[in-house]
Amino acid sequence: MKNKRNRVFLLLIAAVSALGGLLFGYDTGVINGAQFYLTEYFQLSDAMKGWVVGSALLGCLIGAIIAAPLSIKIGRKWSLIISALLFTLSAFGSGLPEMFPQTVTVLVIFRIIGGLGIGIASMNAPMYIAEIAPSHIRGRMVTYYQLAIVIGFFVVFLATYFIGNSLNEVQNIEYGWRQMFWSELIPSVLFLLLLFFVPKSPRWLALRGNDDEALMILNKINDKETAAVEMKHIKSSLRDKSSHVKLSYFSKGIFTIILIGTVLSMLQQFTGINAVLYYGADIFEKALGFGKEDVLLQQILLAFVNLVFTFVAMFTVDNFGRKPLLYIGSAGMILGFTLLGVSLQQESVGMISLIGVLIFIASFALSMGPVVWVILSEMFPNKIRSVAMSIAVAAQWAANYVVSQSFPVVMGSETNNSQPWNGSMPYFIFIGFILIIVFVTYKFIPETKGKTLEEIEGFWE
């Protein structure tokens, strides 16, 4: 009976903290449908559209940077509460009614505020889950975070589709995009309220010397014997010899670990996933030839495939392991973008092009989407986890910004739209980065399946 209560308690914790992932997906996804109309409302150029879409990512970068000291000082739980407040403020301000002076600058400011929330949550939510989950199901538990992200994308694509189709084009341009932003208020307020009911991270409590409270929380998640053993491992990890030496993040061992995690984190974005998710409406309309009335519906299909294959990853990551999924997913992403790129080059866009996009999305959802978050949340030693995770996540948002800011410019460039590319150049660039992922995974990424966080530390010694 106690084991059943433990599982229910653990599931509730993961579900609430993963809502941070849902808002990550919702907040980044809402701009996809909204930018289709606000671009016309503000008469944005390609460069300005890239700025409006990418501005939130600057907030994400700053949020990820401040997440480390915030997480160390006030803990994972209260950091997530702050992120929920920022999500709520951003959703309200981005969709200001017409009676308020909504300008591109005002919109960008509130998008940056939302980005701060995403940056803080994207570092703290998966780390919180990893620090609280038993080792044999940790991979699955952390993939709940990625599952929540894609659910957020799916839900927001549904919301923007129904808002967009309930209004005519003139209404969408005038105020429909504002309603799309305001729809985020529902999950952000729910996230804020539910966070007050989750416990603090036992590893953070142990770092602060609150061993009794840490053990009490571990007892609610594990049986008494397992909790005692895990507490012993945590305390041993924090008391090892190197703990008495001033920590240098530039020492060879620590710097190497952080560098590997940071490179892997950035490569997740250089696959081109957010070029597809942020600018999917443009890709479907301009590159694939779909009409405006079909674009938001195609986005729902894209989000549905993303959701389904994230479930596949969730139920295989603790059985197959992390590295096999990365290899399988990389092969699929290369195939998907090859189909899309060649069909564009041959000027034969249509069903093959759509299938290519969907294969890419499915392969990313199976691999680089969830697995990178799993690896990042578990690969760093206890004493450097907050700072190392913050650096890796901040670098990921910087890479995301580079891709989202440059993609519309490259897509609209004369080189890309002339022979021999015919609009395919960005996708072949992304294929090059995916090949780098295969090399980095083979050469530098350890298999962490089934290991405790403290056992994983031994890989780097």
Q: Does residue 362 contact residue 271 with C-beta atoms inside 8 Å? A: no
| Token duo for residue 34 | 């909204």
Q: Does residue 124 contact residue 71 with C-beta atoms inside 8 Å? A: yes
Domain boundaries, the chain: 2-198+240-460
Backbone dihedral angles phi then psi of residue 74, each to the nearest 5 degrees? -115, -5
Q: How many CA atoms lie within 13 A of 227 on its CB side?
A: 18
- CA dihedral 46→47→52→53, nearest 10 degrees, is 70
| Token duo for residue 434 | 């995916």
Residue 186 CA to residue 264 CA, distance in Å, equals: 33
Report the pLDDT value the prediction gives residue 291, as an integer from 0 to 100.
56
- CB atoms inside a 10 Å sphere around CB 157: 29
**Nearest to residue 132, comparing CAs of 67, 81, 199?**
199
Report the pLDDT value the prediction gives residue 379, as an integer from 0 to 100.
86
Query: What is the DSSP code string of 53-103?
Result: HHHHHHHHHHHHHHHHHHHHHHHHHHHHHHHHHHHHHHHHHHT--TTS---
∠ CA 386-392-396 to the nearest 5 degrees? 135
CATH architecture for the domain at 2-198+240-460: Up-down Bundle (1.20)
Residues of the chain by 3-state class (helix, strand, coil), percent to 5: 80, 0, 20
Give the pLDDT of the chain (461 residues) as one tens digit per residue: 456 677 777 777 777 777 888 888 888 778 877 887 888 888 888 778 778 877 888 898 899 889 989 998 999 999 999 999 999 999 999 888 776 777 889 999 999 999 999 889 888 888 888 888 777 777 777 778 778 888 888 888 888 888 888 888 888 888 888 999 999 999 999 999 989 888 888 888 988 889 899 888 888 877 788 888 888 888 877 775 444 445 566 676 788 889 999 999 999 999 999 788 766 666 666 555 555 556 666 777 888 898 899 889 888 888 888 999 999 999 999 999 999 999 889 888 778 888 898 999 999 999 998 899 889 888 888 778 888 888 998 999 889 888 877 888 888 889 988 889 988 999 999 999 999 999 999 999 888 887 777 777 777 66
Is the pTM value of this prediction over 0.85? no
The amino acid occupying position 118 is: I
